[in-house]
Structure 1
């Protein structure tokens, strides 16, 4: 089988990249770092372009596409470092009214690796000040094998009624709080294991986009920056760094795209593991290529590294993924 993008999928990816370049360029990115991370006007613009109705049937006002196309769109948001609960709104557009049109913003929080079942497990909530509702995925039993753990339910709570405690975020574009209570949480009839699996895959797509973007940043800088009268990209050490970055990104791409087609549990787990590693290690190597410039606040490299650190903690950490893959191989 050949997992190649067709003409429509390539056009979708290019169109989303052009849209984000025009609507969320570097100036707007920096404005989000210095001010409110989430722009409601931009959110509505994205909704008008079909970002959140991508997988809804055309009969319901959606675009009628599938998971592979959603992966392509989320990959581009990762390249652009677009902030906000994009994964949640992509997955819940058909569940919560107003999400598909950008009128409402909903967050999705994960308690599926804690010992408690239900909506009371402690979780982190992204962009709390901007969300209208919070969907919690209930916890799993620690006694279960890792590869069999599943979310036992989904619960919805109005944002205003969620009790929170401050929580410092490593990513300046991702404000966080810790949820300490959801007294009005109402159960939802959702396939929570599938929801969690798709959230992991779409997060992996964002990581893939960031990994690919840092390759471009490193190569561009290596061509422009000169030392000893020559571009630093002509030095073997820099060539090796950039080559390793490209290999990581392309391996992750193959895994993410394949998991979008197969929708398998282990395939998704492997894709998330590879994409997390590619995003974090590529951002570190990109910073290395930039040298002292990379450590400054003015450079954008640190934003990719911090976002990659945070996303690597979402929807399955590396240790959990490795255990799940090992158990799957043994089984």
Structure 2
């Protein structure tokens, strides 16, 4: 069985990387940092025109007609570029929210459980946990009215805390359940959100590995490139050793859609993104801790993503439940052994 990417998939990934290099290079990324993040509507429409949000919609509905494996490749590139905004939620809502598929609408997600809502200030709609209701219009205004801005560890991701505001909102104009909504969020929607977030984490882990290797090959200390030092070599090797198993798990989960495999992929991708960013910062030394370096941005975004859609504790519970009850290695009395 061949699990290598097809030529079309490679071309799709390459095209996304080229697009992001043109519309969201480092200068634009740093400009976004300075203005405190938020959604650039022009960039959002560029992404919509490129098919990021409509990628999995059927062609007869105006979409591209591709699947989760292709979506994972594109979101991996988005994570590599530190692209801001609620990309995953807008992609998942492309078939429910008018304008989302084309990048004309921005969709945020309220996961509940006390988790803050990202990019609420820019949202035209909000997916709400517990039934996948979509809040728009007056319902969205009522939802956002009680939102309190909270300090975000990631300067590219504004956060708001909204406690229990949707619980008593009731059905109203602008609040509707999409197709299969009663099943979607706790099931397929949540799993797909976790999978695509894991893809972003993988992209970030890959990028910080590249940054570390590039710096180790250029920075000199004590008359030698730091990449020649054994400790630095080990750090770089460890980064690669985390990234590639996470990649394999992610691509496999994208093919099967299995909840247990998605949980494993999210867990491995979160670990790779966070730990690789920390090792990359270590390799950069004192410079890595400065605001001017980009390493800390990857670390902060990785921390934030690790707490979204499926946390490590939740993923571990899914994996543990799949193992079944723990059985003793031996039966009978010890004396009989």
Same fold (TM over 0.5): yes
- Aligned counterpart in structure 2 of residue 287 of structure 1, from 281, 292, 295: 281
Match of 1:266 among 260, 283, 301: 260
Which 4+ residue blocks in structure 1 deviate beyond 3 angstroms? 184-187
Q: Which of 309, 314, 329 in structure 2 is aligned with 1:320?
A: 314
2:148 equivalent to 1:170: no
2: distance between equivalents of 1:297 and 1:249?
A: 25
Q: 2:200 aligns with which of 193, 197, 206?
A: 206
Compute the TM-score of the two structures, normalised by the length of structure 1: 0.90
Instruction: Verify the 8 A CA contact 2:36 2:155 in the aligned structure 1.
Output: no
1:284–1:305 CA contact under 8 A, matched in 2: yes
Match of 2:132 in 1: 154
Unaligned runs of 5+ in 2: 326-337
Contact 1:110-1:123 within 8 A present in 2 as well = yes
Q: Name structure 1 gaps, 5 residues minimum.
A: 115-121, 139-152
CA–CA separation in structure 2 for the residues paired with 1:13 and 1:55:
15
How far apart, in 1, do the equivalents of 2:266 and 2:248 lie?
12
Alignment of 1:1-331 (within 5 A): 1-37=1-37, 38-111=39-112, 114=113, 122-138=114-130, 153-158=131-136, 159-162=140-143, 163-180=146-163, 181-182=165-166, 183=169, 186-188=175-177, 189-190=180-181, 191-192=184-185, 193-330=187-324
Render the CA deviation track for 1:175-209: whole Å, top value 9, x for unaligned. 00011313255351422210000000000000000
- Higher Rg of the two aligned structures: 2
Number of aligned residue pairs: give it.
308
TM superposition shift of 1:109:
2.2
CA distance in 1, matches of 2:88, 2:81: 15
Contact 2:36 2:158 in 1 (8 A): no
Does the Cα contact within 8 Å between 2:135 and 2:176 map onto a contact in 1? Answer: no
Report the TM-score, using the length of structure 2 for normalisation. 0.89
Coordinate RMSD, CA, aligned:
1.2
Structure-1 separation of matches of 2:119 and 2:78: 16
